[in-house]
Amino acid sequence: MSIHVKLQLGYHDFALDLDLQLPGRGVTALYGHSGSGKTTCLRCIAGLEKAGRGRIQVNDEVWQDSQRKLFVPPHKRSLGYVFQEASLFTHLSVQANLEFGLRRIPRARRRVDMAQATELLGIGHLLQRHPQHLSGGERQRIGIARALLTSPRLLLMDEPLAALDSKRKSEILPYLERLHDELDIPVLYVSHSQDEVARLADHIVLLSDGRALASGPIGETLARLDLPLALGDDAGVVVEGQVSHYDEAYQLLALQLPGSELNIRVAHGPVALGKSLRFKVQARDVSLSLQASEHSSILNRLPVTVSDEIPADNAAHVLVRLDAAGTPLLARITRYSRDQLKLHPGQRLWAQIKAVAVLA
């Protein structure tokens, strides 16, 4: 299962030139600054814009092939589209808005029903309300449910949280995680928020000026020092750990790093033993030491090996890539500290990470 997107589209001041092979399951993030081509790419996939030259194939369905002069119109593409604004019909109740999406699909082809969509998005208690009596987060959840009720082969989400404040974003993110965990529908998710991408995406495409700088699994790609991702203040790595212990008295979760015996402790509520949990470690929250200090408030002390180093966007800083028994980490430290520790590739030392700094 895969998604092939090959597009060439030109305007007077911008050109989109992409050739992407993407996974046919999970969440793929299209990430980049404003004007990098994220939304244009999504609109071409939806058929809302037509690339002069292109081929779009979603698993076994071809939606565009310019060589064969094939172009499937938007309403015949099996996709759901979630915009920044939900754009609900204000004269209809929530239930009627959802039924509008459901009616587009013949009963025999429905893969998502009303009960499943309302339960997944937690909107059962809102069905009799009208959009003007909903919060922004509630409206967006309705919009996502409406898109799901078209039983799409592909779900497109164009910065669905951009219009929400931080509180509403934190309310809706767990529902997006549920969609990722419980539905077998591939998602293309446009965002310029690295934290959103780190939390939701399995695969990331980094776009700049209409071209793909990189495309790959989220963990590997965020840890690359040759990409602009590493230079930002929110740079870090995403790791999928497995819950190995929970300390109820201190509300500390121990997560075993993949393929190793190393554990990292996280301030977190209880999670079942053996469950996989994704977490992010920011480069700015990693300090380095030549010795493992046992008398410290920093709970996580991991033996690591220095892999590489580059200058940071701040002239006083450097970025160091580390290897923790096969798991990549990034550390942002001062050039002064680098010189005091005499860092060099292959050097063994200790990475220190505060448990309260790990984002799980």
DSSP E strands: which ranges in the chain?
Answer: 2-10, 15-23, 27-31, 53-58, 61-65, 70-71, 79-82, 154-158, 187-191, 203-208, 211-217, 236-247, 252-256, 263-267, 276-282, 286-289, 300-311, 317-324, 327-334, 348-353
Alpha carbon of 326 to those of 9, 153, 203, 226, 357: distances in Å? 40, 35, 19, 19, 21
Average pLDDT over residues 224-246: 89
Q: 184 near 25, Cβ under 8 Å? A: yes
- Percent residues over pLDDT 70 in the chain: 100
The answer, yes or no, to whether residue 354 has pLDDT greater than 80, is yes
Amino acid found at 138: E
Mean predicted lDDT score pLDDT of the chain: 92
Q: 194 near 200, Cβ under 8 Å? A: no
- For 139-176, the pLDDT digits (tens) are 999 999 999 998 899 999 999 998 888 888 888 898 99
Q: Where exactly does CATH 2.40.50.100 map onto the chain?
A: 236-355
CA distance 222 to 218: 6
- For 50-99, the pLDDT digits (tens) are 998 999 999 889 999 999 999 999 999 999 999 888 889 999 999 999 99
Residue 300 is predicted with a pLDDT of 95
Radius of gyration from C-alpha coordinates of the chain = 22
Residue 84 is predicted with a pLDDT of 87
Sign of the CA dihedral with 241 first, then 243, 245, and 246 last? positive
CA distance 13 to 60: 34
Is the CATH number 3.40.50.2300 carried by domain 236-355?
no
CA distance 42 to 225: 27
Residue 102 is predicted with a pLDDT of 83
182 confidence band (pLDDT: 50, 70, 90): confident
The answer, yes or no, to whether residue 1 has pLDDT greater than 90, is no
Average pLDDT over residues 122-129: 94
> Beta strand 70-71 with 15-23: parallel, antiparallel or unpaired?
unpaired
Average pLDDT over residues 24-47: 94
Q: Where exactly does CATH 3.40.50.300 map onto the chain?
A: 2-228
Report pTM.
0.88
Which CATH architecture describes the domain 2-228?
3-Layer(aba) Sandwich (3.40)
More confident: 325 or 113? 325
| CB under 8 A, 24+ apart: contacts of 98-105 | 98/127, 98/142, 98/145, 98/146, 98/149, 100/146, 101/145, 101/146, 101/147, 101/148, 101/149, 101/150, 102/149, 102/150, 104/150, 105/149, 105/150, 105/151
